[in-house]
Structure 1
Amino acid sequence: MVGYDPRPQDQGQGLSSSKAAVAGSAAGLFTRVFINPLDVLKIRFQLQIERFSLLEPRAKYLGIAQATNRIFREEGLRAFWKGHVPAQLLSISYGAVQFASFEFLTKFAHNAMLYDARNPIVHFVCGGLAASTATVTVQPMDTLRTRFVAQGEPKVYRNLWHAVITMFRREGPLSFYRGLTPSIIAVFPYAGLQFASYNIFHRISKWASISSGNVHNLVCGSCAGIISKTLTYPLDLLKKRMQVDGFQKARISFGQVQTYKGFLDCVFQVARGEGLRGFYKGLSPSMLKAAFSTGLIFFWYELFCNILNDHKQRANSGHQQQQSKDLNRKQ
């Protein structure tokens, strides 16, 4: 199970921070390949300023099927993997920092602070802190990924390096950290709920005598992702809006262009111009993405942790056998 567990039979016990980072990186890499198209859809809906109305459909993207078809017709199949390079860097780095921090924090909470590391509340706090640490680390890559997804045709940024140079020269180094405030505000409860919910679903399934395994981890992770995303979604939308602030050339493809003076101004403008529903634009693809991404991230992480632990056990077993042989020879 994810997180430190002091029980000897626990498969995760003894997993070092470096191995947790390796497992987290691999989990992020494999998950990103599958969920990038959903991420593109989610971000396009989030950046759309126009009100959505069935009676007056002025918005460019009206639903998942319509948006998918329109992006495909206007930009081609490759559009669903726009920003994939910075997104992969983001996923790999985020997974490494988040899971390494989470394993360390749960172990620290148990050994130094004498809390039960298997308690869902401990998982909530440690998960939030681990995700906040990861968010600060990878925020520049997240901003670049959002910019790439936001740009239509013709492209503003030719490649990753061109985007970095252009943003640095035109908007300054702080432009890479736009949206950091709502990111931190959003990611703590979001990740905390992910880890805590995953823990709870595992406990419920164990109580109900439901067999564990990789598919079981996938289902528990998907349920945790849906719950955490639904409860924290408005903050994710605000983060995306602020990340493209100052990127008017690409925003033209969405219709209206909006600029924000800060986090509170962004909240006010969305509420005044788009209403309460404006905070939930893109919720459907976002929930699909959360279900797939959270389920897959826990699935891959647990799988790679098992592989690393099996390798460690075989190595230890081989070392013990060699020591036994050497001892017998001496005797």
Structure 2
Amino acid sequence: MVGYKPDEQTPANQKLIAGALSGVVTRFVTQPLDVLKIKSQLQNKRNKSLTLFGISKSIYLEEGITAFWHGHNVGQVYSIISTSSQFYVYEVSTRYAFKFFDYKYNKFLGEFLCGIWSGCCVATFVTPLDVIRVRQILIKEQYRGFYNGAKAVYRSGGLLAFYEGWFTGILMTGPQMGITFALFSHVQPILLRNFCRWKSGACRHESEAHNGQHLVVATFVAAGAAGLVSKIVTYPLDLARRRLQIATHKANDQYFTPTSSKRVVQCKKLLGCIVECYRSNGIKGLYQGLSVTLLKAQVTTVFTFTTYELVCYLMTDFGKNA
């Protein structure tokens, strides 16, 4: 159901709803991992005491269990916009791609390019929210609430501060979405066809494989593989983007700064950030925080695609039986 298919039965407006619901579910489940991911990405490597376990312990002891959901409200809006728009733009672009070139023989390339376009649109839509959200995770009191957070970001660097890391986000999210959608759209149908053959020996039509159980398993495996590959390929840009998003952040003694938010690394230029990461610890420096990021990427991709597919499936099934 992800991407355009000639016999598609789910309208675009229902897919937009499915994308929004998928974003809400995914954000709530993955928010603690996102907090750990962002904190670990911003750490100065010289701060040896703050391992992943050390960061978790520090957050819990200094800020309490609710700190793992700092930035969650803005994050929910961010997720609704990003997830619904990424699926909607992808659905619309693949629909047009199917009409204007030989999609049958260039399917993988077409889905990859449509995914890139989707990712670029999403990065542009959500960068201001992402900047506020990252800074709320860093120091909640200083950026508390959407309105106060937006004012604090504006005071730190004007309107341009809301788009810190935007270009890096485009460079990262475009290829990441391209790889994710292309791999998912290639692997999931193969799994569904095989499930159908194992069940009945042959399939008259691919849609016969679309029952709930098969859909969940195929989506889980395909989404997990796609998320893993795309995140590994684009991770150095993700690391740089986070450090660019706090370029104009200035700690204020008026607000409590947790240990996990002290001595963070801030960058002003993409190339300088990449070079500095490499100088600090070689190739490992470009992949600082990768372990929790991969875990978060796996959980995010699996929940996003599985929820999206199931909601589309349920709405289509409900429409047939209504």
Contact kept in structure 1, 2:43 and 2:260, CA below 8 Å: no
Of structures 1 and 2, the larger Rg is shown by 1
Q: Quick check: 1:62 aligned with 2:51?
A: yes
Contact kept in structure 2, 1:217 and 1:298, CA below 8 Å: yes
Q: Quick check: 1:271 aligned with 2:257?
A: no
Tell me: CA distance 1:294–1:200, structure 2 relative to 1, closer, same or farther (3 Å): same
The aligned counterpart of 2:126 is: 138
2:4 maps to amino acid: Y
TM-score (structure 2 length as normaliser): 0.87
TM-score (structure 1 length as normaliser): 0.84
Q: Quick check: 1:196 aligned with 2:182?
A: yes
1:3 maps to amino acid: G
Query: Where does 1:238-257 land on structure 2 (aligned, <5 Å)?
Result: 238-249=240-251, 253-256=260-263
Task: Give per-residue Cα distances to partners, 1:179-235, cap 9 Å, x unaligned.
Answer: 011110011111111111212322442464467222331222112111111111111
Contact kept in structure 2, 1:60 and 1:254, CA below 8 Å: no
Contact kept in structure 1, 2:156 and 2:250, CA below 8 Å: no
1:293, 1:144 → 2: CA distance?
Answer: 20
2:159 maps to amino acid: P
1:141, 1:117 → 2: CA distance?
Answer: 39
Query: Which of structure 1's runs of 4+ aligned residues deviate more than 6 A?
Result: none
Structure 1 runs not aligned, ≥5 long: 52-57, 316-331
1:214 maps to amino acid: V
The aligned counterpart of 1:21 is: 16
1:77, 1:254 → 2: CA distance?
Answer: 16
The aligned counterpart of 2:100 is: 112
Tell me: CA distance 1:158–1:19, structure 2 relative to 1, closer, same or farther (3 Å): same
1:191, 1:24 → 2: CA distance?
Answer: 15
The aligned counterpart of 1:319 is: none
Contact kept in structure 1, 2:19 and 2:83, CA below 8 Å: yes
1:208, 1:312 → 2: CA distance?
Answer: 27
1:130, 1:159 → 2: CA distance?
Answer: 29
Q: Quick check: 1:128 aligned with 2:109?
A: no
Count of residues in Structure 1 that have an aligned counterpart in Structure 2: 301
2:298, 2:170 → 1: CA distance?
Answer: 21
Instruction: Give the counterpart of 2:170 among 184, 187, 193.
Output: 184
Contact kept in structure 1, 2:123 and 2:169, CA below 8 Å: yes
Structure 2 runs not aligned, ≥5 long: 199-208, 252-256
The aligned counterpart of 2:222 is: 220
The aligned counterpart of 2:203 is: none
The aligned counterpart of 2:315 is: 308
Contact kept in structure 2, 1:25 and 1:92, CA below 8 Å: yes
1:300, 1:237 → 2: CA distance?
Answer: 27
Contact kept in structure 1, 2:50 and 2:260, CA below 8 Å: no
2:310 maps to amino acid: L
